[in-house]
Structure 1
Amino acid sequence: MSLKSILCAYSGDPEKGGGLRYAINLAKHHDAHLTGVAKTGGLGFLHRQLPAQLPESIRAQLDANGREVMANTAKRFRDMVAEAGLSDRSEFVELDPKTDGPIASFARAFDLSVIGHYPGAPYEDDYAAHPDLIALRSGRPVLIVPQDAVEPDHSTRNITIAWDGKRAATRALVAALPLFDPEAQVTLLSIGKTPRNTERFLETLARHNVQSNAETVWQDGTIADTLLTKARSSGADLLVMGAFEHSKFSHDIIGGATTDVLAIADVPVLMAH
């Protein structure tokens, strides 16, 4: 299935817009409709940390600040899509969690969600901090664009798949297929040992006219370090990986490879669960 409906979630930093630029290029390349979205309700991360007895006047000022941020975000979205010539197939939505549900529910209606990732951004909200959870809860792939990612050139030609042969990695690989350029070179990268049936996967990709190979490397540092070092050395412009396979509880307590990758990634990362 091709990409025809792309969601770009506001990721907390109104000055950078790398995620939006990436989403715009994808929409142009795939002739897709682009929807921008941000949460209503003021500065959400502040509201969660404020004491209940805070004076109403201060809460009102915070809400006013939040509305100003929302207005600026919407304007930036509309200006950027207009400059790209996408005004006729784009929209901006102010997501109200009380009526529209959480971002993960909203994301289910789209082929792909794109999220800029800027650790420590002053307005960063939950779905920017934990995009892997959006992949888990929405059932849809999420493409995370780090702050230092190279501007895309409308095609994806060199893809590294973090390949362990498990369900989430398989789901991510299938979800990434619409992003592949016809001349793309795909590497199934495994760490430590080659998963069984890898050759079968290569045969299936070949039947889809995807050029692919498999490579197994020894772990050097953390799994995240190993994946990203290899992706950089091969010139990958996209890393594809499954969101965490273990429970959300253990993910919250000890983290995982997906969390570690997002913390240090400098190439776009597509995740699915």
Structure 2
Amino acid sequence: MSYKTIVAILQSEADLPRVLDFALPFAARNQAHLIGLHAESLPIAMATPMGGPAVDFSTELSAEAERRNGELKAVFERKCAAEDVRYEWRGYENVSGDSAISGIESARTADIAIAQQNDPDAEARMAADVEALIFETGRPVLLVPYTYQGRREPFKKPLVAWNGSKEAARAAFDALPLLREAGTAEVLTVDARDTMSQDAGVAGAAIVEALAKHGIDVTLRAEQSDGLSQGDVISNRLADSGCDLLVMGAFGRSRVSEFVFGGVTRSMLQTMTVPTLMSR
């Protein structure tokens, strides 16, 4: 198994270099087809004080969107050609100008999507709805921290957050190409409990065994939260262990609103310090 189709969500000129620093070497190593995807907002006709449409203003916005899309496309194509990566550009328009929303359909037929974590201090047009990408595509999403610097070589030490759920299982197996590439991984359990089918003392042993059968050197670590949030426990372990990739399931608390996240998921989306692969 390897990733053969990769979708890079490129929201703006700010995140394009960071996302491509991950996506291009990643695509080259996997001999994958890389899709660069960007959306611009649709120009909305506005009425003048006299009641007529502001045609000039709308035309100006449309021209600006076309210019920005063309510039991003040119950078993407130039970088792909330099890396000798097979590529494709998809440009869209939608009401919000959200590239993640426009990328949902493309990501559903890809092996993985790569996007940047949102910078909370960036202007609105720089933010993409990465939550929708995670929850609506059924595909793994690799998020790059907005603070991350440097070109991404293969991960060396992934951390797999494990709680025995279907979301955690999906993430662990979705990440197999990355785990095999690293050759090693740590499985982390937090506050494991005794259940009808498993003692807390052996929680995580089965997934360790399953991943080891893929040629991965896997270790198991159990932690107790001791008053901390589980998100803080995971973050502390990342810092202490030197792990450079987090693999975890994404959880929602409400079936009515799939964008209401569980505490750990939202915490990691907001505070991630290493690239994070999430699956739903």
Confirm or deny that 1:261 pairs with 2:263.
no
Q: Retained in 2: the 8 A contact 1:12–1:121?
A: no
What is the match of residue 143 of structure 2?
144
**Range with bigger deviation, 164-173 or 12-21:** 12-21
Q: CA, structure 1 residues 217+152, in 2 after alignment: closer, same or farther (shift >3 Å)? A: farther
Q: Retained in 1: the 8 A contact 2:134–2:279?
A: yes
What is the match of residue 130 of structure 2?
131
Q: Secondary structure at the match of 2:274?
A: coil
What is the match of residue 32 of structure 1?
32
1:185 partner letter: T
**TM (normalized to structure 1)?**
0.84
Q: Secondary structure at the match of 2:14?
A: coil
Q: CA, structure 1 residues 134+52, in 2 after alignment: closer, same or farther (shift >3 Å)? A: farther
Q: Secondary structure at the match of 1:93?
A: strand
Choose from 195, 200, 203 the match for 2:209.
203
**Range with bigger deviation, 190-199 or 112-121:** 190-199
Confirm or deny that 1:104 pairs with 2:104.
yes
The unaligned stretches of length 5 or more in structure 2 are 96-100
Q: CA RMSD in A?
A: 2.8
Q: Secondary structure at the match of 2:126?
A: coil
1:124 partner letter: M
Between Structure 1 and Structure 2, whose CA radius of gyration is higher?
2
Q: CA, structure 1 residues 186+52, in 2 after alignment: closer, same or farther (shift >3 Å)? A: farther
In structure 2, how many angstroms separate the alpha carbons of the residues matched to 1:200 and 1:6? 30
Confirm or deny that 1:91 pairs with 2:88.
yes
2:175 partner letter: A
What is the match of residue 75 of structure 1?
74
Shift of 1:28: 1.2
1:213 partner letter: T
Q: Retained in 2: the 8 A contact 1:155–1:181?
A: no
Q: Retained in 1: the 8 A contact 2:41–2:65?
A: yes
2:30 partner letter: H
1:163 partner letter: W
Q: CA, structure 1 residues 133+270, in 2 after alignment: closer, same or farther (shift >3 Å)? A: same
What is the match of residue 17 of structure 2?
17
Shift of 1:59: 3.1
Shift of 1:52: 7.7
In structure 2, how many angstroms separate the alpha carbons of the residues matched to 1:51 and 1:191? 54
Q: Deviations over 1:179-222 (max 9, x none)?
A: 12445221111222267452122111121211112212122643
Q: Secondary structure at the match of 1:180?
A: helix
Q: Retained in 2: the 8 A contact 1:240–1:270?
A: yes
Q: Secondary structure at the match of 1:160?
A: strand
What is the match of residue 3 of structure 1?
3
In structure 2, how many angstroms separate the alpha carbons of the residues matched to 1:51 and 1:213? 60
Q: Percent identity?
A: 25
The unaligned stretches of length 5 or more in structure 1 are none
